[in-house]
Every structure is written in structure tokens, then in C-alpha cells.
Amino acid sequence: MDEPDKFVDLELDESLQERIRLHLELMDKHALNILRAVAELEYILSQAVQAKFKNQISAQKVVGDSFARLIRLAFALDVVGQKTFESLLNLKDIRNRVAHEVQPDIKVKDLLSIVLFLGKDAEGVVQEKGAYLAEWHQVSLDLLVDHVKSEILA
């Protein structure tokens, strides 16, 4: 039963401790960026969905506090297309991990999953706009938010 305590008692050299600290800070920054992007997308989608309603009921009264339901309703009302719908669902899954796991691990495949609408060139576009891996998450989020805005306004 003392196994977990052994891990805590490990002595790590300062270099490794610093790398772990920086990694955790970066994950926290990515988590915050994801939550901000989702909040912005929720607002954008809510407004676009509500504009399709025939009466004055708010989108929130229809879908509650569920981002997943809002995404599905936006797709059902043709507010967003298939690829954007899939990208938003992937972002929702990432957001859920960030919101509900103690130490969520955000991977490169996660950021590529939220830019599906770019097709096979997604990785190249993200790399072109972000100089290094840490920037790629933010670039992917920005691309998705901009894409949703332009798709809804088109």
C-alpha cells in the first residue's frame, strides 16, 4: 500500500523539476485557451441558432448548458457544415478532458482534430502559422473560431 508514497519520495534533479514545471504551466495555458475558445464559440453558435428560431425562445432554453447539444442543433439547423460539426465535436471532447481531468494531456492529434475543415492540408496550415508546438494549439483554436465565424456569416 506504500507504493504511491514511493513515487512522491523520488528525488528529481533540478533540470527535470524545471521541465516538469514548464510542461504543467504550458498545459494550464492550453487548458485556459481551450475554455476561452469554447466560450466564444458557444456565444457565436447560440446567436446563429437563435436567429433560425421562429419565436423568441433563447438557444440556452432549448439546449441548456450543453455545448454538445448546441453543436448538434447548429448542425441540424444547417448553421454549420459537416466538417465544422465534426471539428466542434472534437473540440468539445478536448474541452471535457480539460474540464474534468486533474492532469489532462493535450496532444498534437488533438489540435489537428479541431481543424478537420481544412482537409488534408490541416497540419501544414497549422505549422505555417505557428513556429513551434506550443503555438500550434492556439493557432488551431484561432483557425476554428475564425472558420466558424466566417461559415456562419457566409
- pLDDT tens digit string along 104-147? 777 778 888 989 889 888 888 888 887 777 788 889 999 999 99
Specify if 21 maps to a domain. yes
**The dihedral of CA 25, 35, 111, 142: what is its sign?**
negative
Specify if 8 maps to a domain. no
Q: How many Cα neighbours within 13 Å face the side chain of 124?
A: 4
Specify the pLDDT at position 9: 53
The DSSP secondary structure of 80-141, one letter per residue, reads S-HHHHHHHHHHHHHHHHHHH-SS----HHHHHHTTGGGGGGHHHHHHHH-SSHHHHHHHHH
Q: Is 119 left (phi over 0), alpha (psi -120 to 50) or beta?
A: left
Specify if 26 maps to a domain. yes
Q: Are 74 and 42 in contact (CB under 8 A)?
A: no
* pLDDT tens per residue, range 10-26: 566 777 777 777 767 77
Residues in the chain: 154
Specify if 97 maps to a domain. yes
Specify if 143 maps to a domain. yes
Specify if 2 maps to a domain. no
Distance of alpha carbon 94 from alpha carbon 88, whole angstroms:
10
Specify the pLDDT at position 23: 67
* pLDDT tens per residue, range 17-54: 777 777 677 777 888 889 999 999 999 999 999 998 88
pTM for this prediction: 0.79
Specify if 3 maps to a domain. no
Which are the contacts of 29, defined by CB distance < 8 A and separation ≥ 6? none
Burial class (CB in 10 A: 0-12, 13-18, 19+), 128: exposed
What is the extent of the structural domain holding 48?
A: 14-153
Specify if 108 maps to a domain. yes
